Chains A and B, each alone.
Chain A
């Protein structure tokens, strides 16, 4: 088979997770007004303070405009056409996995996340979010022995209202941006995690997000609080069926690290990217921010973004505590008509705060990939340090890579370094591999993996393997 034919064959391969699960769902009609929010609150049995919070956010959202500054072309989202709440039936409180709809369990099996298996064998606790609600959380009991809370957001609102009230919106206020306001108004579920003082969480905590129902927006909320001296590593994965419409995913993730706490947050994002002609795909407009509140705290973001029609997000760190550390490691891949405008903000407030940014953008097909980052060193951030490295790789000549690094320094003792490179995957490199017996497909994935090595090495072991495979799948048909 010629190289062109082989690549065509690969290009024709479909998005592996594009199936739809046949479960009855209980949805609200499309549209958004205060009554929609009241109905969400009623169905979820939420307290008045949360209703008030949601309504304030909604009223604020109505005063805002859909932002347009990102370097992406997007269709206008009609917010009145979206469904804001969709839950698989039956909607009763689940006591154990045995009560979960077998269709749902099968879905997660297909996605490679066997909740049953997880429960018995692996050292990963999983919270699975299907459309708007969390369907199963594993290992909660075992974690509870250590005082660790890991549950769906809805459950946390009921069981731990004092923690939610204290921290909800404390890092990403609803006034922050258009999508965070919308999320604050309508979020339906997500994950909550609290690690008590001095506890090192003994297993990876993981949430798996799945959009299933058509016409729904997914607005989940994640809140992680690491108390003094605690550590936690958290993983997040996402998939969605193939649909011709652009579905909106507007999540908010808030991390709070108190004194000497460490949070490591890893994402492998594989939402449906749309087809080869750019039809359909998820709009992934997410606000993620971590607050290094205490001295010597540390927050590390690692993201591998291969899915979505448009990825638009900036996982950021507010380095408030003295000697706190923020890290951002990112691989963003755009193929076909995918677009990404992603990066980070590192806001240095405390003394001797340090941040590291490593960004790898890969563009293939007609993909457009933008790194946008801000290093903001405030006046009081004595002896702050930042190192940024932004590398772009182009596959083919119809794609684009763009870099917008913003640096603001208000303290003369700061030391900020920035490096950037752009390279093209060479036919030379591919031929070199071919001449040693390695197929073109394997060669491309090897070269790209090499390019992303610094980021992959930050991922937990199993995730790193998954990320490499995902990258190989996403790259299929990208050279030729």
Chain B
């Protein structure tokens, strides 16, 4: 299949992406293609560029794209502001969800939903319809309704914050969801609940990029593809068994210079 034909079916096509943070290069030629409905896991040691990649896709200001291209649903993603990307259906579940004191979770979420709907030239959702929608989605992620009236992430436990991210995802209904280290700071029960929420949202054309250091999340969110990121490049790709292999071997093999070799073997 030629690259051109491939593009037609891709929701995301990342081509030779170079990006830096405060002048130091982090991503050094990253390539990745994601089709609608697929779940891709990006694994790799600390400092390999996983979170940078997630943030570059979402358009965070401190991350500078130096070269390369990212096409998303036929759009030049790098040309869009963060809020435009969000409105176009990109959702980033944050590693460290931010708190906004004094603003209720419900108000925040409705503002976000209506911003997205205005962008799509859809009518805004009134308070009654919103409440109905959000209640339904809260069941999906097993979240206590009391959290709706609390300030956004303010005084939430680690598990509540991550569940809140998944609730937002459920309400905003993205086409491409990026989970940045969603497992960090979660005990096993919280992890399971969050993963169940994500699994409930799988299906149809919605694609996922799951960024994680550990394999354990992938026991619950089983990926279609696993990629290993090292020093800003994807050095190895495979199916879900690759994650288990990494669990056994760790990332030390990356340093031994076999990385490139192994990628070639795999492809």
A residues at B contact (CB < 8 Å): 1-3, 426-429, 431-440, 442, 446-447, 449-454
Contact = CB atoms under 8 A, between A and B. Distances in A.
B60 interface: yes
A429 B83 contact: no
B113 to A, nearest CB: 8
Contact of A439 (B83, B97, B172): B83
Tell which of A437, A450, A453, A454 has the most Cβ of chain B within 10 Å.
A437
Interface stretch (B42-50, B86-94, B205-213, B217-225): B86-94
B61 A3 contact: yes
A432 B98 contact: yes
Contacts of B119: 437
A450 B108 CA distance: 10
14 contacts: A3-B61, A426-B98, A427-B62, A429-B100, A431-B58, A432-B98, A434-B82, A435-B59, A436-B116, A436-B172, A437-B112, A440-B83, A442-B111, A442-B115
Contact of B60 (A429, A431, A453): A431
Nearest to A360: B102
Given A438-B83, A450-B151, A428 B98 contact: yes
Interface string B109-137: 10111011001000000000000000000
Nearest to A434: B82
Contacts of A438: 83, 111-112, 115
Given A434-B83, A434-B86, A439 B102 contact: no
Given A428-B98, A435-B92, A446 B82 contact: no
A452 B101 CA distance: 10
B100 A437 contact: no
B61 A431 contact: yes
Nearest to B58: A435
Nearest to A6: B81
Contact of B168 (A436, A439, A440, A452): A436
B188 interface: no
A446 B83 contact: no
Interface in B146-172: 151, 168, 172
Contacts of A436: 86, 108-109, 112, 115-116, 168, 172
Contacts of B75: none
B102 A453 contact: yes
Contacts of A434: 59, 81-83, 86
Nearest to B151: A450
Tell which of A429, A434, A446 has the most Cβ of chain B within 10 Å.
A434
A429 B86 CA distance: 15
Nearest to B62: A427
B21 interface: no
A452 B100 CA distance: 12
A413 to B, nearest CB: 34
Given A434-B81, A434-B82, A427 B115 contact: no
Given A3-B61, A433-B100, A438-B111, 11 more contacts: A432-B97, A435-B59, A437-B87, A437-B119, A439-B83, A442-B115, A446-B103, A446-B108, A446-B111, A450-B100, A451-B102
Closest 9 CB pairs of A and B: A450-B102, A436-B112, A453-B102, A450-B103, A434-B82, A437-B115, A437-B86, A432-B98, A437-B116
B70 to A, nearest CB: 16
Interface string B50-81: 00000000111110000000000000000001
A2 B111 CA distance: 21
A452 B102 CA distance: 8
Interface string B170-182: 0010000000000
Given A436-B115, A437-B86, A429 B102 contact: no
Contact of A3 (B81, B87, B116): B81
A439 B115 contact: yes
Given A427-B61, A435-B92, A450 B101 contact: yes
Contact of A437 (B94, B97, B98, B172): B172
Contacts of B115: 436-439, 442
A72 to B, nearest CB: 28
Tell which of A3, A426, A449, A450 has the most Cβ of chain B within 10 Å.
A450
B175 to A, nearest CB: 13
A437 B83 contact: yes
A190 B222 CA distance: 72
A454 B151 CA distance: 13
A438 B114 CA distance: 9
B81 A432 contact: no
Tell which of A435, A449, A454 has the most Cβ of chain B within 10 Å.
A435
Nearest to B178: A435
Nearest to A438: B115
B177 to A, nearest CB: 12
A451 B86 contact: no
Contacts of A2: 81
A435 B111 contact: no
B218 to A, nearest CB: 24
Contact of A431 (B82, B102, B109): B82
Contacts of B111: 438, 442, 446
Interface string B209-238: 000000000000000000000000000000
A188 B6 CA distance: 79
Contacts of B112: 433, 436-438
A366 B60 CA distance: 26
Given A436-B112, A442-B115, A449 B103 contact: yes
Nearest to B86: A437
Tell which of B81, B98, B119 has the most Cβ of chain A within 10 Å.
B98
Contact of B94 (A427, A432, A442, A449): A432
Nearest to A429: B98
A454 B59 CA distance: 33
A67 B81 CA distance: 50
A472 to B, nearest CB: 13
Tell which of A1, A429, A454 has the most Cβ of chain B within 10 Å.
A429
A302 B102 CA distance: 18
A480 to B, nearest CB: 10
